[in-house]
Every structure is written in structure tokens, then in C-alpha cells.
Structure 1
Amino acid sequence: MHLIDAHQHYWRTDRGDYAWLRDADASLQRDFLPADLAAQRIAAGVAGSVLVQAAATEAETRYLFELARADRSILGVVGWVDFEAPDVAARIRPLVRDGDGLLLGLRPMAQDHPDPDWLARPALDAAFDCLQEHDLAFDALVRPPQLPALQQRLRRERELRVVLDHAGKPDIAHDRFDDWAPRIRELAELPKVCCKFSGLLTELAPGMPARALDHWVDHLFACFGPGRLIWGSDWPVLTLRSSYAHWLELARAFAHRHAPHALERIFSRNALAFYRPRRAPDFLDAAGDIP
């Protein structure tokens, strides 16, 4: 089976713009670069990955372009721009130009915004217009309280390609399934919304077994089906709970239970069809449409 990792990060701490790292677990407060993952990625058979921003700066997005130019396994970059900036279109256009095909999408770090309704604000309209003008994807990094605002936004942005990062970051540790599940079901009714099958292990409380995810994963497959779920590792954040190989093995077991004939979709084709990278891996001539 061909494998694409649709969600991973690299960072170099001396760049100084990873504000969230100051409060993160000490194990994450170091550099994580392509050489640190290469052996694990190759051993797992992952042919390429989508590199996702980890700092709220345009400078970091340009740094990720540099990494992608030096490492062909990086298929493209999901970057950052200030969605509320009055000149947001003038900020996005140079990133598109300078990325020269590497910029696949944008991700504001909405989960950190104090206003749960932020994504629905009219002040963000110009940013979303520009995303669609340049055929860029939108990575929605939100928590359950922000899902209603995301849904409001997407009802207005019917043509936007959007993927929900980490299944909307459900509060699995406190078993708040009912706060999350109905909103996921409503969001999944919008046909252009995909969902990343990623980031779930780190939502477990310390000591919780992986089988505690069963109920949550069942719901994701019931709502999105194999045609709109996209596997990602969320490495190196993943290392807080597990190894790259273990999460891949666990995710494959979940997917095999729910959709044994659609593993290629979940673990590669859906990612390629959603992000449309110019730098396609060798095993495909073209991404094609999501089946």
C-alpha cells in the first residue's frame, strides 16, 4: 500500500517564533528536522508528506519552503498568514509566488483564539476569498467549541476545500463525546469537508489505552466515510504518546476494521486529491479526484 503523511511538522527552535513551545512538554522543546524523521518515515514506507505550519508567522512558512526545496519527500506546505490583516490578499500572493507550487494551503491557528466565533467574523472574508482565488486549501485547526463558527463559515464558502485537523481535537481525556459528535455529524453533511485521521492519541489522558479511541473513530468513519478521511501522523507532537510506527499500525487497524477495501484512499489518494501537490510522489502520475 502506498502511504502519504498528510500532517507533520518540522521546527528549529532558535528561529524564535514558536510561542506555544514555551508551555509545551519539555520533550518537544528541541529541534525536529527532516533528518530526525527520515529513518522512521522510510521504514514505515511513507513516500511523502505535507508539512504544516507550527508558528504564526509568514517567516516560518518561508522557512518551510526552504526545507521542502532541500527534501523531495516534502510534497508541499500548509502555511500561515494573518487572516484579519487589512492587506491579507497582498500577503498571500507573495507566498504563492515565492512558494512556486509548494504552498498547498493555509492554516490560521484558530484553536488559540479566545473568541470561539472568530472564524465566522466578516473581517476574515477577504482571506477566504483569496484562498479560493489561488486554489489553496484551508486547514481548520479548531476545538469543539469552535465547530459552530467553522460551520457558519463553510456555509458561506461552498467551494472552499477544507480539512478538519485532528478530527476537531475532541476532549477524549474527559469523555466529552456528546459535545463533539453532533457537531462533527453536521459538519460532515457539507460535501467538500474532509477530516484528518490524526492527532487522536495525544487527546488521550495519560494511561488511557488506545482502545478508548474506538467510539470516536467509529463516529468519524460513520460521518466522513473512507472517501473523506485523510491519514496524518502529527509528528513530532505524536511523540508525546507514541511512535510514528505505532500510530501508523494502529490507524491501519482502525481503517481495516471500517473500510478494508479503501486503505489506499485513506492513506494516500485522499491526501493527494485534496491538496493537489505539483510534486507528486513517484507511485502516481496524477492525484486524481477523491473516489
Structure 2
Amino acid sequence: MQLIDAHQHYWRVDRGDYAWLRDAPAALQRDFLPADLETRRSAAGVAGSVLVQAAATEAETRYLFELARADRSILGVVGWVDFEAPDVAARIRALARDGGDLLLGLRPMAQDHPDPDWLARPALDAAFDCLEEQDLAFDALVRPPQLPALQRRLRRERELRVVLDHAGKPDIAHGRFDDWARPIRELAELPGLCCKFSGLLTELAPGMPAAALDPYVEHLFACFGTERLLWGSDWPVLTLRDSYAHWLELARALAQRHAPHALERIFSRNALAFYRPRRAPDFPASAGAPA
């Protein structure tokens, strides 16, 4: 089976713009670079990945372009720009120019914004207009309190390609289901929205079994079906809970339970269709031809 990782990160701590790392677990406060993942990714049979920003700076996005130019397993970059900047359109166009074919989308770190309605603010309209103009995807990094604002935004952005990162980060640790499930169901009624099947293990409380994911995963499959779910590792954040190989194994088992005939869509084809990378993944011959 062909495998594409729709969501992973690299960072180099001495760059100094990863503000969130100061309060992150010590295990993440070190460099995570392509050489650290290459063996694991190859052993898992993952042919390529989408590299997602981890710092709220344009400089980090340009650093990710450098990594991608040196490593063809990186299919493209989801970068960052200040969505409220007065010259946001010029900034987005400059990133797209500097990245060449490597810029696939943008992700403001909305989950960290103190206003849960931030995504619906008119001040962001110019940024979203430019995303559509440049044919770039939007990665929605939000938590459950921000889902209603995302829904209001997407009702106005019917042509925008949008993917919900980490299933909207449900509070699995505290067993909160309904306040996540209801807005997810409503959001999924918008046909342009996809959802990443990623980041769920790190929402578990310490010692909580992986079986606690079951109702959340069942809801995702019920809402998004098999055409709009994209598997991602969220490596290296994943390492706080599990290994790259084991999360892939667990995710495949969960998908097999709900959609045994659609694994290649969830683990490869949906990511390629959504992000539209210009760089073709180097699938091993054993993976077969695209279906």
C-alpha cells in the first residue's frame, strides 16, 4: 500500500523562534531533523510527507523550504504568515514566490489565540482571499472552543481547501465528547473540509489506553467518510506518547475496522488530492501503481 504522511514537523532549537517549546515537555526541547526520521519513515514504508510549520514566523517557513530542497521525501510545506498583517496578501505572495512549488498551504496557530472567535474576524478576510487567489490550502489548528468560529469562517469561504488538523483536538483526556462531536458533525456538512487522522494519541491522559480513541475515531469516519480523512503522524510531537511505526500500525488497524476497502485513500491518495504537491512521491515498486 502507498503511504503518505500528511502532517509532520522538523525543528532546530537554536533558530530561537519556537516560543511554545519553552513550556513543552523536555523530550521535545531538542532538534528533530530529517536524519532523525529517515530510517523510521523508510522502515514504515512512507514515501513522502507534508512538512508543517512549528513556529509563528515567516523565517521558519523559509527554513522549511531549505530542508525540502535538500530532502525530496518532503513533498511540500505548510507555512505561516501573520493573517492580520496590513500587507498580508503581499506576504503570502512573497512566500509562494520564494517557495516555488514547495508552498502547499498556510497555518496560523489559531489554537493559541485567546479569542475563540478569532478565525471569524473580518480582519482576516484579506488573508483568506489571497489563499484562494494563490490556490493554497488552509490548515485549521483549533481546539473545540474554536470550532464554531471556524464554521462561520468556512461558510464564507466556499472555494477554500481546508483541512482540520488533528481532528480538532478533542479533549480525550477528560472524556469530553459531546462538545467536540456536535460541531464536528456540523462542520463535516461543508463538503470542502477535510480532516487529519492525526494527533489523537497525544490527547490521551497518561496511562489511558488507546481504546479510549474508539468513539472519537468512529465519529470521524461517520462524519467525514473515507474521501476526506488524511492520515498524519504528527511526528515528533507523537514521540511523547508512541513511536512512528506503532502509531501507523494502530491507525491502520482503526481504519481497517471502519473502512477496510479505503486504506489507500486515507493513507495516501487523499493527502495528494488535497495538497496537490508538484513533487511526486517516490513510491517503492512494491506499493503498486496509483489506483
Please tell me the TM-score bracket, short chain as reference.
Answer: over 0.9
| Structure 1 residue aligned with 2:223 | 223
| Structure 2 residue aligned with 1:91 | 91
In the alignment, the residues of structure 2 paired with residue 231 and residue 273 of structure 1 have an alpha-carbon distance, to the nearest angstrom, of 13
| Structure 1 residue aligned with 2:124 | 124
Say whether the 8 Å CA contact 2:73–2:282 is kept in structure 1.
no
SS of 1:49 mapped into structure 2: strand
Q: How many residues align?
A: 285
| 1:283 shift after superposition | 3.9
SS of 1:91 mapped into structure 2: helix
Q: CA RMSD in A?
A: 0.9
Aligned residue type for 1:2 = Q
TM-score (norm 1): 0.97
In the alignment, the residues of structure 2 paired with residue 205 and residue 224 of structure 1 have an alpha-carbon distance, to the nearest angstrom, of 26
SS of 2:174 mapped into structure 1: coil
| Structure 2 residue aligned with 1:45 | 45
Deviations 1:76-96 (A, max 9, x none): 000000000000011011100
| 1:164 shift after superposition | 0.1
SS of 1:281 mapped into structure 2: coil
Aligned residue type for 1:48 = G
Unaligned runs of at least 5 residues, structure 2: 285-290
| 1:270 shift after superposition | 0.1
Aligned residue type for 1:236 = P
Identify the structure with bigger relative contact order (alpha carbons < 8 Å, sequence gap 6+). Answer: 2
In the alignment, the residues of structure 1 paired with residue 282 and residue 79 of structure 2 have an alpha-carbon distance, to the nearest angstrom, of 24
In the alignment, the residues of structure 1 paired with residue 266 and residue 142 of structure 2 have an alpha-carbon distance, to the nearest angstrom, of 21
| Structure 1 residue aligned with 2:2 | 2
Unaligned runs of at least 5 residues, structure 1: 285-290
| Structure 2 residue aligned with 1:174 | 174
SS of 2:47 mapped into structure 1: strand
In the alignment, the residues of structure 1 paired with residue 281 and residue 169 of structure 2 have an alpha-carbon distance, to the nearest angstrom, of 29
| Structure 2 residue aligned with 1:258 | 258
| 1:234 shift after superposition | 0.1
Deviations 1:135-183 (A, max 9, x none): 0000000000000000000000000000000000000000110110000
| Structure 1 residue aligned with 2:161 | 161
| Structure 1 residue aligned with 2:287 | none
| 1:280 shift after superposition | 1.4
Identity %: 89
| Runs of 4+ displaced beyond 6 Å | none
| 1:216 shift after superposition | 0.5
| 1:281 shift after superposition | 1.0
In the alignment, the residues of structure 1 paired with residue 209 and residue 42 of structure 2 have an alpha-carbon distance, to the nearest angstrom, of 27
| 1:282 shift after superposition | 3.2
Deviations 1:47-89 (A, max 9, x none): 0000000000000000000000000000000000000000001
In the alignment, the residues of structure 2 paired with residue 143 and residue 279 of structure 1 have an alpha-carbon distance, to the nearest angstrom, of 31
